[in-house]
Structure 1
Amino acid sequence: MSNSIVYSLVIAVFIYITTGNAYAASTTEQNFTADLLRQLPSDEILELSASQQIFISLQRERMTSYTKGTIIFLPDASEHAASPKHIDMLRQQLTYYGWYTLALMPPALPLTLEQDTLTDYQQIIAERMSAAQQQAQQHSGATIVIAQGSSAAILNQLFATARLTEPAAFIMLGAFLPDQKLNQDMAKALATHHVPTLDISHEQDNSWVTSQLPLRRQLANKYMKAVYRQRLINGSGYSDTSQQWVLQEIYGWLSSVGL
């Protein structure tokens, strides 16, 4: 790990603490960051900045002679940029299919999802994603987004309200928010934005995920969403077998939409 990266991240943590930002100053995020800095090679660590605050992301170069583009990963708020629930495997394996991958550190979810805190959280997500999209512009090809859990639900709203540049495709892994009304809003946002979407979930996902699948499908039909596929996978997102299945689902679907 280079001294410059370590130094700048120490300064970033100091800024997080002194500014009192409840999301960026999350102890969980600090701990995740420290763990990843210790465990991963320095060439995978990429610093990005949003609202003058530094956060880390994990990059991996394509392993093919051809270039398809960039995949941006945004894990669930309870996970980290190398989450063992799909994200770490996908960010590594998809480089063998021609993709440059960039996995972001997600901000911590606020303790209460009231309108003000949710709006502030959406802004933090939008700023981190915008920084990632700027990084993706340095690479040729399409940009797609794979998001997990609460992060996927938030991105749906941001795409539907045009607060983020739409990617070429959007893949959700177990998308949900821990509130019935917010989940219903997410289902409508999913049905009304125009981003081609693959909606993957597992039988062992929590009830917030599985209970909303019929509504998402119904609204996608109602609003005639052009490209939407829903897949329910056996097992959990931590199973090696399930992860390989999801990898093949993603590869097959991207191929079907020309990516």
Structure 2
Amino acid sequence: MNSKICLGVTWLFLTSVLQISAVAQQLPSQEQLWQQDLQRQLPDTEFLELNTKSSSFTVLQREALSSFNKGTAILVPDWTEHPASPDYLDTLRQQLNDYGWHTLAILPPPPVEFNIEQNAISYQQQLAERMVAVITQAQKQGGNIIVIAKGSNAALLNRLYTSDQLPRPAALIMLGVYLADVQLNRELASHIATQSVPTLDIIHRRDNRFANANLKLRQQLVDRNLKAQYRQRQLSGTFYASDTDAWVLKEITGWLHSIGL
């Protein structure tokens, strides 16, 4: 009797595990959920599907609305955000069109792959592959290519530029750049100083502690390495409100004008 009971319990356990596994396989990924959410909000004309060696991914595209074409602004959200994030990106991808920029805002690789303890090597490679695909798309538009990136993805792009794993853009704008590790965050300051891309470093006083931790060190290393085109701007005031979005847009367009873009 006891043996039969044990077999019955084991069978119920295995059945439950298989059912849970089947349900898990049917659940959409974070990337799919983002895609579904964006498709409910945005017109079909803004969606573009690009391919890498291993996968396809979504890009939000908008054309310049001015009589002149400056080129393309590639927008890269932080690894936990989508390309129409209300924290700066959605405003930038729309309003930069008025200043002569086409915009391509990418859906970053799935956040489940991000692992800071392993130096994000797998995630960084996926990000590089997506960047290569979107740069190829941007080149079709002509003009300059600039990159506007947030958070940890901005930090990883600095690594890729420093090690020549990506073509360098005409300008890099970083929004709240950081890596959530004390040592890696200090190394980020060195990467910013040694890559040769003209760089605008925008931080809000209420960004996380890693983003605000090494502002002085970043400027010191830039000065030591004689990096000519680097500007650091720390914003204050309300956090990610419409006035801050307008401030960021003004900082970006003014700085781009100052370097001839």
TM-score range (shorter-chain normalised) is 0.7 to 0.9
Moved over 6 A (4+): none
2:115 and 2:123 in contact (8 A); partners too: no
Matches for 1:107-186 after TM superposition, within 5 Å:
107-109=109-111, 110=113, 112-115=115-118, 118-186=120-188
One-letter amino acid matched to 2:63: E
Unaligned runs of 5+ in 1: 1-16, 19-24
Deviations 1:132-163 (Å, cap 9, x if unpaired)? 10000101110000000011000000000000
CA-CA distance at 1:237 after TM superposition? 5.1
Tell which structure's C-alpha radius of gyration is larger. Answer: 2
Alignment coverage as a number of residue pairs:
236
2:74 aligns with 72
Evaluate the alpha carbon distance shift between residue 192 and residue 242 of structure 1 in structure 2; reply closer, same or farther with a 3 A threshold.
same
Secondary structure at the residue paired with 2:174? strand
CA-CA distance at 1:121 after TM superposition? 1.1
1:203 and 1:236 in contact (8 A); partners too: no
Question: How far apart in 2 are the matches of 1:254 and 1:123?
Answer: 29
Secondary structure at the residue paired with 1:101? strand
Question: How far apart in 1 are the matches of 2:121 and 2:211?
Answer: 22
2:50 and 2:56 in contact (8 A); partners too: yes
TM-score (norm: length of structure 1): 0.88
1:208 aligns with 210
2:114 and 2:123 in contact (8 A); partners too: no
1:95 and 1:101 in contact (8 A); partners too: yes
1:13 aligns with none
Question: How far apart in 1 are the matches of 2:213 and 2:250?
Answer: 25
Question: How far apart in 2 are the matches of 1:196 and 1:84?
Answer: 26
1:8 aligns with none
One-letter amino acid matched to 2:74: I
What do you get for the CA RMSD once the two structures are aligned? 1.6
- Asked if residue 244 in structure 1 is aligned to residue 246 in structure 2, the reply is yes
Unaligned runs of 5+ in 2: 1-23
CA-CA distance at 1:108 after TM superposition? 3.1
| Identical positions, percent | 49
One-letter amino acid matched to 1:62: A
TM-score (norm: length of structure 2): 0.87
Deviations 1:166-213 (Å, cap 9, x if unpaired)? 000000000011111111111101000100000001011010001121
